[in-house]
Structure formats: structure tokens, C-alpha cells
Structure 1
């Protein structure tokens, strides 16, 4: 199960379970869902659209059946200067591809080491994506839509990196 042990959530709820549901809804993909941790009318409408498309009872409430049908809503890893590993390499490869259009600087070689060039590339990507420019790849940066239809940075890098 991609979202084990999650509570029932509905309009008016706030917090980490709501963030998880919003991430999962964006991954369906429904890029209209804001990642704000607030289960408001827009999140409720997105849940209803998902439930209808998945053949579930349409009630706008995220209960066991909806959680089970949603993709993993766990966060992507937080990446920043000093981070290392395959997820950093995969991020660098996506940033290199996008930098070819001149929208942001290249991170240099895809070596799996989040150094100064990768930080500068992330900052350029954040500016391009109109999110806070801090050089740290967190929820808002992962959620930036790319030019490709229904694609975000996180889906381009790979949802295999989402944490449970």
C-alpha cells in the first residue's frame, strides 16, 4: 500500500496527512492541487475528481479506499548543498536537460554530489519556476511544473525516490 496508516481527512483538516494527500493528487497528475497542507475547497474538488476517475464513491473525503487508490504521497528527499547519491545524480540529469534551453545554468557533471554548481542550477530553476530561491530542493521545488505535459521536477527525476 503506497500510503500506509493514513488517517481519514476531509475539508477543514490541516497538517502532514493533508500534505501527503495533496502530493499524491499532484502525482495522479493533477497539477492544479496546491501543496499547502490545508484541505480546502480546491483540495476537496481534486479528491472528488480523483474518486470519480478511479471509480470510487465520490464524497470528497480521503478514507481507506481513496488512500489505497492514490499513488505514494510521501515526500521526496530534501536535497541541498552537501547531499550525495543517486537521487542527486538523477536531479542533475534533469537540470542538465533543461539548462540546454538556457532557462537556468547547468549543474555541471551528473556526479551525484550537490555542490556549488548544482546549487546555482537549482537557484536558476527555482527562479524559472517562480518559487522561493534558496538552493534547496524541497516540496515546492519538487512540485514545479515542467514544459512537458503533466510533468513536474519530481516526476521527471522519478517517484521511486518518494519516501514512505
Structure 2
């Protein structure tokens, strides 16, 4: 017996589909038992109710009726696939959209750039801008070349000293703020050409009529005791107002055998302002005022510090 999916048997169809009460072509009540195809009268109600099997092709032998197509999947049958997708992750459509959304998010919210610091060894336009600003504020720098070398280090130290900052010669946020704010030291004199030495901030100022012309990194006496030619001395720089009384326009050897002094200008006893290859940002000398050799050249050759020039140490 051939069963159709979701349908009743032939006998059930016969019982469920009663014949009309009267038929103009037949007066006999059909039998409740379904007759075979050879016994069923043509045009009867049972034949009309049954589906007609497809005609076989002329060349193919007669074969049983083909199986009915598989029914479409019901929601209950699709559920396992959905559950499998949920176990593997988000549905396929969402997986396709997620990378695009993530890529857009990364484009719209780039990471913040790291802060840039300038120090010895740095070079380029940023260093040139730094040097130009230092010169504009009056800090001594012999050349603007875009190279952060020892001379730029001296100028940055001087700026940091004037601003009360850490003396590390690294241009970070605080040093940049000092540059932007135009930090520069104020003089204590108001008239004439004066060399001012600020011991607290370890700076030397070239002052003209109460205006600071140049500011230099300097290093004065460190206050320690030292021995020279069998005698003990204290490495201190005395405060007060003095005048240049002697100068040596060459590399002069100390009479106490304490080393060479480049183009010194003496203002009291054996204490002088002189050039040196070592000018740290703290007191380090035997009592003299150290500045760089290029700074000493500027004092001698550009600005001029003749004998009689006032020197104020405070």
C-alpha cells in the first residue's frame, strides 16, 4: 500500500469522503471497501479523490511511483543547526559584520601618541625650534644647527635653572612649558655693563643697563676643602661687588697647579671667570666661575669685558 506523507490510507480517504446522497448516473450506494483499479467504475468519486500517479516515459519500463519529495525542514529540525552556530560563536551574518565594525572602531579611535622628549643626541626640526626659542629668550647658544649637542645641553641647563626645574637637560613637558612661558632670569643691577653671578641658580648673566643680554650655565666653588702646594683651601666663591682687575688671553695654568683656565678674567684674588671643558649644572670648581670655552669667547670678543667691568656675586 502506498502512503503519502501526512495523508490517510485509501480506505480512510473513502470513509472520510462520503458520496453525495443521490447521483444522476448511478443509483447504487458504493461499497465501503475500496475496489481495485480494474473494478472501480470510471469517473467515480473515489478515483477523483486519489492523486494521479505520473505517467512513465515511453522508453522506460513501468516502475513503482516515485517517492514523494522530502518535506522541508521544520523549525524543530533547524534548531540543532542554530544551536551548533551558537556553540561555535555568533551567527554567520554577525561574524561577517563584526570585523568591519572593529576595523572602523580602530580607525576612529587611534592610540594617543607617546610624548616626545628631546635630549643630547636628538636632531631635526624639533631641535632647531628648541634652539631658536632658547636664543630668542637670551640663553647663550653659539649656533642653531638642529643638533642637540653639548652647547644645547648648556643652554637647556641654564633654562631649567632659571625656571627652578630639575637640571637633567631633557626637554620634556615642564621644560617645554618654561619655553612657552618665556622663562628668563631677572638681573639685580640696573645700570652699566655688569657681569652677574647667581650662586643659588648657578648662572652667569651679561647685563646691560638692567637688561639681561645673555644667560650662561655656570659652575662655582663646591665648598669642599682641598690641598694645593702644601696648604689647605676651601673651594668657595665669595659674594660681593667687584671689578675685573686682571686677564689672560690664552690658556693659563693655575699658579696653585689646579689645572688650566681658558682666557680668565680675575675679579678678586685668585678667583676668575674662565672657560672650561667641564661645566656641570652644580657647583664643582675650586672657587672660580666656570663657563664653556665658547661662552668665554663671546664675553671676550662679542660683548667685551674689559678691565674695570663690574662683577656682582650674589
TM-score (normalizing by structure 1): 0.40
Q: Which has the larger Rg?
A: 2
> With CA pairs under 8 Å and 6+ residues apart, which has the higher RCO, 1 or 2?
1
TM-score (normalizing by structure 2): 0.22
* Structure with the largest fraction of strand: 2
